[in-house]
Structure 1
Amino acid sequence: MKIEQYTKEFAYNIKLAYPVILGMLGHTLIGIVDNYMVGNLGSTELAAVSLGNSFIFLAMAIGIGFSTAITPLVAEADAEKNDKKIRTTFHHGLLLCTVLGVSLFVITVLSKQLMYFMDQPKAVVLLAAPYIDWVAFSLIPVVMYQGYKQFSDGLSLTKYSMYSIILTNIVHVFFNYVLIYGFWFFPKLGVTGAALGTVISRIMMVVFMHYLMKHNAVMKKYFKNFTFKEIKKSIIKKIVALGVPSAMQMLFEVTLFTAAIWLSGSLGKNSQAANQIALILASSTFMVAMGLSVTAMIRVGHSRGVADYKNLIIVARSIFLLAIITEALFALIFVVFHNFLPHLFLNMHDPAQVLDNNEIILITSKLLLIAAIFQISDGIQVVVLGALRGLQDVKVPMYITFVAYWIVGFPISFYLGKYTDLKAVGIWIGLLAGLTAAALFLYIRFVRLTKKLVAQHTDKEV
């Protein structure tokens, strides 16, 4: 096949992906703003937010992963032009996301006691505990928002989550500033202020999303006549059957990165702070691949709905190629600016922080060189995973991601981080190994599955 077959799809891929990317960057920006504003208070406060968010990220991974089940089902129904199926999937999906959000809030608050058994610095744990209490509550609106977002993504209306996130970030910056530092009649709350700013902004995120979607000409018809009488066990089972393995896939990856945070914390607060800065930067570029992953889910799901498997392969490969090109560019940026980027997250003007800052910058710059390498592996694995979700293939990828991250990646991270002089750098080498294994085996799964689907469809036509 000629390369032009894939590159001609780039324009439509980007059109679908860029609002998703900007929306996801907006999500990440909430974390960046927290880290930037809290980082000015000191390295202990920055480490506390890092530790607190590690618990929140685990819960968010489950919620976001589960909600991705909605997109391929809606995309398939949209290809079939089945409005009833679209509406039913939306209502059931939103209900399940709300219940899951409440459950995750309760579980996260209860699980914070684990911090006291994790060999973390005492000063960091004391600041992280109240932060977790507040930010955990924001899991309810976050997972509800995902129900709305995945529904609109399935209809290829990807701009609404972008608009919502832009408005959310304006709210977040305002409340973070006044509640962290104290301004006008607002009290100076430090780390707790960052948590409250996040809670308020995420509640508004759902409000914005609901309003924008309900007043859209295409989507408003799906908001009418919701009743619990229409809830069917068969539809719930279908969403759960796709959602639970998808949640596990995301959980396995996020827990690997969370383990990296905890392992870094056991090496000291500066290693943990360096890990957090590198993770925020790597997560920001990863959002581009995540946007392309959603595009793969939408377009593959749509092609599956019309049973056009040959075009499905072309579309998927075009997205894979686009992801490799963009992640390679980000890798180059990390290599060129690895000594400069850490400065953006630290208060370089405080004499009391000079020694800590110098050590954090040294560690972070090394981590960014490894992050540059795993950009490509990370990009490939997430876009292929999106394509597999579009095919509604979730169980085998769940097993693949478990093996890649926890049989390959984590043992390497643990050994190199705890028992060699590589320390934080060794932890990230383990991350690289896990992501590369996932990318390789998920791609093999996609190739085998699509070949089988093409062959079956050809036999039917004959």
Structure 2
Amino acid sequence: MPPAFARLLTDSRALATLAVPLALTQLAQVALTTTDTVMMGLIGTEALAAGGLAMVIFNQLRTMGVGLVTAVGNQIAAADARAEADESDPRAREEVRDLVRASLLLATLAGLAGAVLMVLVGHAVVLLGQDPDVVDAAKPVLYAMAPGLIPCLWFQAIRQFTVGMGRPQALLRITIASIAVNAGLNWLFIHGTWGLPELGLPGIGLATTTVYALSFLALYASACRDARLAPLLSLRIWRTRPATLRRLASLGAPIAATYGSEAGFFSVVALLVGSFGTAALAAHTAVNQLVYIVFQIAVGLSHAASLGVSRELALGNTAAARRLKTTALACAAAVMAAVAVVYVTVPRLVLSPFFDTGDASATDIATHLLLVAAVLQFFDCTQNIGVGLLRGLDDTKGGFRVTLVGYWLIGLPAAALLGPAAGLDTLGVWLGLLTGLAATAVLLLRRFHRGVDALEPTAAPAAA
């Protein structure tokens, strides 16, 4: 076996130790929201529309809040690496404690602000042309879900702490358990079983808040039982150093903006596709959901590579940081290639859960989109890993600027030109989407290489 290939296999196994639990956790979270959607549909069409509207608002703010604390994992990974390199220095361990306190304080502030904003948006969304009856039905759901944003972000802060310390295993167990708990609570709160009041649709919002609170408590309890994590897990947020809070906020704000920008970009694309009719929008929704599911694997690889880069650069190992990039991209390419083969060879089977057998128009459009998706997902995965790699360099602002260019200045105009303007309709929009993601991926990787190159002169003495 060639030495380079042997090293790639070794690095891949090391990366998978962190990436696989994270990817499975992401997939489990997708199942969590899917359970809510199914429960809404069982209540009725209007409930599905109102609950879906509430979930869109909640998920947009939740995603941006998660982005705000995402950089915590990188900072903790770097601080932990420095602590391991110099165990005689107690300040390194105190740095980790302060980061945990600051992340929980940041999560609290973001959760409070997001909860208030969620209610305000729920009242204002009727001005955007939404059905007033649907908006009225969505408001009680938002009221029930808004408090859940705070424990949700607390959970994310503790999650970043455990992942930064290289202990992600409890995450998967807790997230899988939360799916069953969420389904049970949905049923209890909706129908008023076992003496509980019958809440109907708002019961789903209450179940969501309860599950987030229980998940946070479970993860916190798990960390407290870990001999390595417990001494560093400090809830004394009032002792947070203002400088640490400012540093996390300055790193997290561009990530939150990136997540918000990406969500907004895909929303605009959906609106563009919707102008071609119901069949086109249905096809887009189905294929986009398939891409989103596979995308969770990229998220796991991105987080694992990002934390690895932070740790290696904290020790001055720029060569190892470059290898992590190569390993993550190689693992992603292998998974995406396997998925692409399935898309190309059995597209009808892949799409069968989404369409009735008689819905030939939507199925035909979706079949063509799957061919684009087979290529698109390579670039989608690469750009997500690129954002993570830049986060490992603490270059979150650069990642945000690059995604703005790729999504909005390249991707959206290309989608408009290849779709409505060129007459390719939905297929053209997806080709434009592919173009934007490809450009974003190339620009992010180029920026990462330049960032590592800039560190090498100062990193060389430390490595020696």
Alignment TM-score, normalising by the size of structure 1: 0.87
1:239 aligns with 2:241: no
Range moving further from structure 2, 406-415 or 6-15:
406-415
Match of 1:220 in 2: 230
Residues 119 and 266 in structure 1, CA contact (< 8 A), matched pair in contact too: no
Match of 1:34 in 2: 36
Match of 1:430 in 2: 432
Residue 3 of structure 1: CA displacement? Answer: 3.6
Letter in 1 for 2:69: S
Aligned match for 2:101, one of 68, 91, 113? 91
Aligned match for 1:398, one of 394, 397, 400? 400
Aligned match for 1:4, one of 3, 6, 24? 6
1:162 aligns with 2:172: yes
Match of 1:439 in 2: 441
Q: Distance in 2 between matches of 1:182 and 1:367?
A: 43
Aligned match for 2:319, one of 307, 310, 315? 310
Q: 1:415 to 1:183 in 2, by over 3 A?
A: farther
Range moving further from structure 2, 334-343 or 194-203:
334-343
1:152 aligns with 2:166: no
Q: 1:37 to 1:432 in 2, by over 3 A?
A: farther
Residue 50 of structure 1: CA displacement? Answer: 4.5
1:251 aligns with 2:260: yes
Write the deviation string for residues 229-268 of structure 1: whole angstroms up to 9, x where unpaired.
x222211111112111222222221221232344456666
Q: Distance in 2 between matches of 1:262 and 1:414?
A: 11
Q: 1:111 to 1:369 in 2, by over 3 A?
A: farther
Q: How does 1:34-433 map to 2 (within 5 A)?
A: 34-39=36-41, 46=48, 48-81=50-83, 82-113=92-123, 115-119=125-129, 128-179=138-189, 191-224=201-234, 226=236, 228=238, 230-264=239-273, 274-344=283-353, 361=363, 363-414=365-416, 422-433=424-435
- Aligned residue pairs total 454
Residues 68 and 256 in structure 2, CA contact (< 8 A), matched pair in contact too: yes
Match of 1:18 in 2: 20
Alignment TM-score, normalising by the size of structure 2: 0.86
Match of 1:351 in 2: none
Residues 189 and 207 in structure 2, CA contact (< 8 A), matched pair in contact too: yes
Q: Distance in 1 between matches of 2:423 and 2:140?
A: 34
Q: 1:265 to 1:130 in 2, by over 3 A?
A: farther
Q: Distance in 1 between matches of 2:79 and 2:415?
A: 43
Q: Distance in 2 between matches of 1:417 and 1:188?
A: 47
Residue 338 of structure 1: CA displacement? Answer: 3.5
Q: Distance in 2 between matches of 1:182 and 1:371?
A: 43
**Gapped regions of structure 2 (runs ≥ 5):** 84-91
Residue 280 of structure 1: CA displacement? Answer: 3.0
Residues 70 and 252 in structure 2, CA contact (< 8 A), matched pair in contact too: yes
Residue 10 of structure 1: CA displacement? Answer: 0.8
Q: Distance in 1 between matches of 2:420 and 2:141?
A: 28
Q: 1:62 to 1:225 in 2, by over 3 A?
A: closer
Letter in 1 for 2:178: T
Residues 104 and 154 in structure 2, CA contact (< 8 A), matched pair in contact too: yes
Residues 46 and 273 in structure 1, CA contact (< 8 A), matched pair in contact too: no
Residues 60 and 139 in structure 1, CA contact (< 8 A), matched pair in contact too: yes
Root mean square deviation, CA, Å: 3.2
Range moving further from structure 2, 217-226 or 26-35:
217-226
Q: Distance in 1 between matches of 2:277 and 2:120?
A: 25
**Gapped regions of structure 1 (runs ≥ 5):** 349-353
Q: Distance in 2 between matches of 1:42 and 1:372?
A: 35
Match of 2:88 in 1: none
Residue 282 of structure 1: CA displacement? Answer: 1.8
Q: Distance in 1 between matches of 2:280 and 2:121?
A: 24
Q: 1:174 to 1:431 in 2, by over 3 A?
A: farther
Residue 315 of structure 1: CA displacement? Answer: 2.1
Q: 1:7 to 1:155 in 2, by over 3 A?
A: same
Range moving further from structure 2, 135-144 or 45-54:
45-54
Write the deviation string for residues 156-195 of structure 1: whole angstroms up to 9, x where unpaired.
1111221221121111122234555776666776654443
